[in-house]
Amino acid sequence: KIKIVTIGGGSSYTPELVEGLIKRKNEIDIGELWLVDIQEGKEKLEIVGAMVKRMVKAAGLDWKVNLTVDRREALPGADYVTTQFRVGSLNARIRDERIPLSHGMIGQETNGAGGIFKAFRTIPVILDIIKDMKELCPNAWLVNFTNPSGMVTEAVIKYGKWEKTVGLCNVPIRYEKMSYEVMGLDEANQELYFKFAGLNHFHWHRVWNRKGEEVTKYLIEEIYKPENKGKYVGMKNIKDIPFNYEQIADLGMLPCSYHRYYYITDEMLKDELKEYSNHETRGEQVKKTEAELFELYKDPQLDYKPEQLSKRGGAYYSDVACEVICSIQNDKRVNMVVSTVNNGTIIDLPYDCVVEVSSMITSHGPEPINWGSFEAGIRGPLQLQKSFEQCTVEAAVTGDYGKALQAFTMNPLILKGKITKDLLNEMLIANKAYLPQF
Ligand code: NAD
Ligand code: G6P
Ligand code: MN
Ligand code: MN
């Protein structure tokens, strides 16, 4: 029987994860499920934990569901450790959004200065988790969902030296579903073939049909032509503000929602500033949704995932996380998009860096599918983004101020000059409690 440990168990997403595990009960034979949180998250953990126990019971399963605020109690002998924690809670996210915005820059959970600070807060914690795993569950797979997922995965593999790591995100599956919708094809029959390459929240993809025809260009036209605005809905957490169509057409590949921050920064910033003047960043909206969700989870009758969870950006995350576990456990060799070591898959990037690419998920982990090289229009931004990520991870590990300033200077969403340093200093002070390395 399998033992799964979920760190950040008090997350409002946990019922989604558990629903995914229940759906796959015939493929993964779970003995124990441990939900781990910290003292500050204990109340959330208990509410979610009780709800999870009801879900498991309603499904007629005998899994032992355990709750703890001591991860060392949970980890011994784990087969899979999944991570979905948020250091500093939503309050830290709101500061990541508001401080850059107050200086006229994009404020976002995983991009720009906000994304950098989320990495700075998270990486020391994940490296401590790895230390405990080395001692207590040396054979476990780490399935990381914690953002910024790509950089966290790179830190774990490169600095934590934990090779059995898979980094995840729900953006690719969201785009796969959208392609089926556009093409009017049945997802269950896997009529389409997808090939993704790039980095987490910074990838592009191509699509083919069963006849071997590439349908990428058709999808670009259907989704992004100005006259089709609003026809298809992307990620819940990012406004579908139109790209400059001719530029997307020139890419010849489908972008991801997050490229909006880079390709149409002006529109995204203006939109954020408008929301900000209404005193609502995304983090603040999420806080309200979370409060609603926890009220529902408290209901002793509720034993299934409520509809309201779909207001969160992470829809389908459980399908990704649970399918990866299933595919490793049963050597299913399913084709999925994950963050994993490049190993020459994208020849424009270093061999040892982490990339987010279509991979075959085997019992020995992801085998990335060869991509090759990108054309200049993508290669340039991609190489910059990877180099930026590497500087950020190095700064997060060492606490080196110059390296942190380098990362800030490289990031396309951060203004350059004295303001770069002012912003870094302001955010270092605001995050002091969560940055032991600086
Ligand atoms: P959340 O604020 O509900 O945090 C989840 C839990 O983590 C909280 O209960 C909190 O107490 C706990 N926590 C904080 N520090 C911890 C620590 N050191 N050890 C254990 N638990 C700790 O967050 P959320 O909105 O549910 O998101 C959780 C994480 O998942 C975030 O990092 C978010 O960015 C990420 N996420 C990733 C994707 C993806 O595509 N990869 C999608 C959605 C969410
Ligand atoms: C998407 C991204 C996640 C991100 C989430 C934010 O799902 O893939 O990485 O964490 O959106 O959603 P939220 O509801 O928290 O704004
Ligand atoms: Mn200021
Ligand atoms: Mn993501």
pLDDT digits 0-9 by tens, 95-113? 999 999 999 999 999 999 9
pLDDT of residue 230: 87
Distance in angstroms (rounded) separating the CA atoms of residues 70 and 270: 43
User: Ligand 2: distance of its center to the CA of 165 in Å?
Assistant: 20
Is the CB–ligand 1 distance for residue 129 below 6 Å? no
| SS3 at position 13 | coil
- CB atoms near residue 334 (< 10 Å): 15
Q: Tell me, using a 6 A CB cutoff, whether residue 237 lines ligand 2.
A: yes
- Count CA atoms within 13 Å of residue 160 on its CB side: 28
**Cβ(170) – ligand 1 distance below 6 Å:** yes
C-alpha of residue 169 to centroid of ligand 4, in Å: 4
Q: pTM score > 0.90 for this model?
A: yes
In this structure, the dihedral spanned by the alpha carbons of residues 418, 422, 428 and 431, taken in order and rounded to 10 degrees, is: -140
- In order of 18, 126, 161, 209, 351, the CA distances from 8 in angstroms are 13, 11, 22, 39, 31
Cβ(87) to ligand 1 under 6 A? yes
| Ligand 4 centre distance from Cα of residue 60 (Å) | 32
- Helices H, strands E: what count in the chain? 16, 11
Residues ≥6 apart with Cβ < 8 Å to 138? none
pLDDT at 304: 83
CB neighbour list of residue 123: distance below 8 Å, 6 or more residues apart: 151, 152, 155, 393, 396, 397
The Cβ of residue 98 has, within 10 Å, a number of other Cβ atoms equal to 18
CA 303, CA 150: separation in Å to the nearest integer?
Answer: 33
* Residue 369 near residue 345, CB atoms below 8 Å: yes
pLDDT at residue number 84: 96
The bound ligand whose nearest atom lies closest to the alpha carbon of 95 is 3
Q: Looking at residue 249, what is its pLDDT?
A: 97
Structure tokens at 18: 């558990």
Of the chain, the end-to-end C-alpha distance in Å amounts to 42
Written as six digits, the tokens of 160 are: 């934590």
Contacts of 206 (CB under 8 A, 6+ apart): 194, 195, 214, 216, 253, 254
Q: Summarize pLDDT for 252-306 with one digit per residue, the tens.
A: 999 999 999 999 999 999 999 987 777 789 999 999 999 999 999 999 898 888 8
Distance in angstroms (rounded) separating the CA atoms of residues 395 and 401: 7
Minimum-distance ligand 2 atom for the alpha carbon of 317? 7
Query: Ligand 2 centre from 83 Cα, in Å?
Result: 15
Q: Which residues fall within 8 angstroms of residue 135, CB to CB, at 6 or more apart?
A: none
Cβ of 286 less than 6 Å from ligand 2: yes
Q: Which amino acid is at 202?
A: F
Provide the H-helix boundaries in 210-279: 216-224, 245-251, 260-263, 265-277
ipTM above 0.95, yes or no: yes
156 backbone dihedrals φ, ψ, rounded to 5°: -65, -40
Residues of the chain under the 50 pLDDT cut = none
Return the active site residues.
Answer: 258
CB atoms within 10 A of CB 433: 10
Give the H/E segment covering residue 68. strand 64-68
